[in-house]
């Protein structure tokens, strides 16, 4: 599935989350992902509102800790616990542009207005909603970009905020004017960067759903909503072919623990896949080949991780075509617990992490929980 965003009134983290919930992303599944961060003292709800006559979903995030200033490293540590690459990349992107703007190391970046814990809920929530909807590609129309000034901890700054402008420039975003006022927030811009959004007109697709995410304000002159179109690429209902970067390196002096850690880090960084192949090198030495499959725009970061974590002195890089079948994710109830199920053209498979967690909580064998999840899927299709 792919989604096209129409930010004619701008975009923020909560507007994007609201639009994805309006498309059908299950609220309980999103909450489960946020819970995995270990964050406490938060609530996430979805309320129906009207903006200029359009019914929309507003994602309402409340936190007991209302401080808006903290180190970026603290937020990043939270989102990384949720095992969601999009959220981690979004917070990391914010930290990197702030470091560049203020001329400090990334590790020393102190976030002010966007340092609140609601940023954790927004970023992890959006990442989870995209996964639950089975979205594999994000496309975006021209961003309505406001102008003027905004008062911050650093004083009066221009709109768009420097961090927002830097993020949109890094993404190669298409923008258009939208009058005075802030319409695109740093969190909204960072999520577009993290999701690898492609900017342009509506892509050809078989439309499957339309959603609207509401902003907090209700101006009289326009509908303050983010429109989202969900669909399957037209003419590619059975498969979608894309060019990917394939990175490979051979290592004979890296432990299994380090290799397992590396694969996890690569997947968190957005790699489409990462795997290991046992090989025999010269002089009969047992070794491994580390393989990484990534979108071209993420290949540089994956290459850095591959070389820094293994200590390898080089790697091979090539371009391959990947055929990806359409897929989407639903949730089922097994013994009162939520289990995600990924669906493809030829079958369905429960998510292992959810099955393992449910098996431990219910005291059941793994295969029994998986069987019950698939039975629940079959029951909904009757």
| pLDDT tens column, 49-102 | 999 899 999 999 988 877 666 767 777 777 777 655 788 888 888 888 888 876
Q: Which stretches does DSSP call E strand in 91-141?
A: 110-111, 137-140
Bond before 127 cis per omega within 30 degrees: no
**Tokens standing for 360?**
């431990």
DSSP string, 131-172: HHTT--EEEE--EEEEEEEEEETTEEEEES-HHHHHHHHHHT
Cα gap 226→114, rounded to integer Å:
20
pLDDT tens column, 140-160: 999 998 888 777 666 787 888
Question: In the structure, what pLDDT confidence band is assigned to residue 380 with cuts at 50, 70 and 90?
Answer: low
The answer on pLDDT for 381 being more than 60 is: no
Give per-residue pLDDT as tens, 351-369.
Answer: 998 999 999 999 999 999 9
pLDDT at residue 237 above 60? no
Helix 299-310 vs helix 256-268: crossing angle, to nearest 10: 160
pLDDT in tens, 260-275: 999 999 998 889 999 9
What does each C-alpha distance from 108 to 64, 190, 341 come to in angstroms? 25, 19, 40
By three-state DSSP, how is residue 364 classified?
A: coil
- pTM for this model (two decimals): 0.64
3-class state of residue 351 by DSSP: coil
pLDDT at 251: 95
- When pLDDT is cut at 50, 70 and 90, the band that residue 239 belongs to is low
Give the percent of the chain with pLDDT over 70.
92
Q: Which residue has the higher pLDDT, 181 or 350?
A: 350
Q: What is d(CA 30, CA 134) in angstroms, rounded to the nearest whole number? A: 13
pLDDT at 211: 94
pLDDT of residue 235: 59
Structural domains in the chain, sorted by start = 2-233 (no CATH), 240-324 (3.30.70.1380), 328-381 (no CATH)
Give me 98's structure tokens: 């702030």
Query: What's residue 158's pLDDT?
Result: 87
- DSSP E strands, the chain: 2-6, 42-51, 54-63, 70-71, 110-111, 137-140, 143-152, 155-159, 175-180, 198-199, 205-214, 225-233, 240-251, 273-280, 286-294, 316-324, 328-334, 337-344, 347-350
∠ at Cα 9 (6, 14), nearest 5°? 85
Across 251-265, b (16+ Cβ under 10 Å) vs e yields beebeeeebeebbeb
In tens, the pLDDT along 293-348 reads 998 888 888 999 999 999 999 999 999 988 877 777 888 889 999 899 888 777 88
Tokens of 276: 């290991």
Widest distance between CA atoms in the chain? 76
Asked if residue 44 has pLDDT above 70, the reply is: yes
Dihedral angle at the C-alpha atoms of 274, 275, 279, 282, nearest 10 degrees? Answer: 20
Average pLDDT value for residue range 40-52: 91
**pLDDT per residue over 111-129, tens digit each?**
765 667 888 888 899 999 9
Residue 147's contacts (CB-CB under 8 Å, 6 or more residues apart) are 158, 159, 160, 177, 178, 179, 180, 181
Give me the helices (H) in 199-329, please.
256-268, 299-310
- Integer Cα distance of 334 and 14 in angstroms: 30
Q: What is the pLDDT of residue 382?
A: 47
Predicted confidence at residue 372, as pLDDT, reads 93
- Give the pLDDT band of residue 258 (cuts 50, 70, 90): very high
| pLDDT number for residue 170 | 79
**What percentage of the chain exceeds 90 in pLDDT?**
42
The pLDDT tens digits for 176-232 are 887 778 889 989 999 998 888 889 889 888 898 999 999 988 888 889 999 999 998
Annotate 103-123 with b (16+ C-beta within 10 A) or e (fewer): eeeeeebbbebbbbbbbbbbb
Classify strands 54-63 and 70-71 as parallel, antiparallel or unpaired: unpaired
pLDDT of residue 189: 92
Tokens (6 digits) for 350: 């429960």
């Amino acid at each position: 599935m792919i989604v096209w965003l129409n930010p004619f009134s701008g975009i923020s983290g909560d507007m994007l989350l609201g639009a994805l919930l309006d498309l059908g992303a299950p609220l309980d599944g999103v909450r489960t992902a946020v819970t995995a961060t270990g964050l406490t003292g938060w609530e996430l709800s979805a309320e129906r509102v009207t903006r200029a006559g359009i019914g929309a979903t507003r994602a309402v995030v409340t936190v007991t800790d209302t401080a808006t200033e903290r180190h970026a490293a603290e937020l990043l540590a939270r989102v990384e616990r949720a095992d969601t690459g999009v959220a981690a990349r979004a917070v990391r992107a914010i930290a990197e542009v702030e470091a560049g703007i203020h001329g400090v190391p990334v590790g020393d970046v102190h976030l002010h207005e966007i340092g609140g814990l609601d940023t954790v809920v927004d970023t992890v929530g959006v990442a989870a909603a995209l996964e639950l909807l089975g979205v594999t590609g994000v496309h975006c129309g021209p961003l309505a970009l406001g102008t003027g000034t905004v008062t911050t901890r650093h004083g009066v700054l221009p709109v768009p905020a420097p961090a927002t402008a830097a993020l949109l420039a890094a993404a190669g975003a298409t923008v258009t004017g939208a009058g005075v006022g802030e319409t695109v927030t740093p969190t909204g811009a960072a999520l577009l960067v993290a999701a690898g959004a492609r900017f342009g007109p509506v892509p050809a697709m078989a439309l499957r759903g339309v959603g609207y995410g509401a902003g907090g304000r209700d101006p009289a002159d326009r509908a303050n909503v983010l429109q989202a179109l969900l669909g399957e690429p037209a003419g590619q209902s059975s498969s979608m072919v894309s060019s990917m970067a394939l990175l490979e390196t051979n290592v004979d002096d890296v432990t299994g623990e380090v290799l397992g850690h590396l694969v996890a880090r690569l997947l968190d960084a957005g790699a489409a896949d990462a795997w290991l192949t046992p090989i025999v090198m010269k002089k009969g030495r047992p070794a491994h080949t580390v393989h990484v499959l990534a979108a071209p725009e993420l290949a540089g970061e994956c290459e850095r991780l591959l070389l820094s974590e293994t200590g390898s002195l080089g790697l091979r890089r090539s371009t391959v075509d990947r055929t990806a079948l359409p897929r989407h994710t639903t949730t089922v109830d097994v013994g009162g617990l939520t289990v995600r199920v990924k669906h493809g053209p030829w079958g369905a498979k429960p998510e292992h992490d959810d099955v393992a967690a449910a098996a431990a909580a219910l005291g059941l064998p793994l295969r029994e929980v998986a069987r019950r999840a698939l039975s629940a899927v079959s029951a909904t299709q009757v």
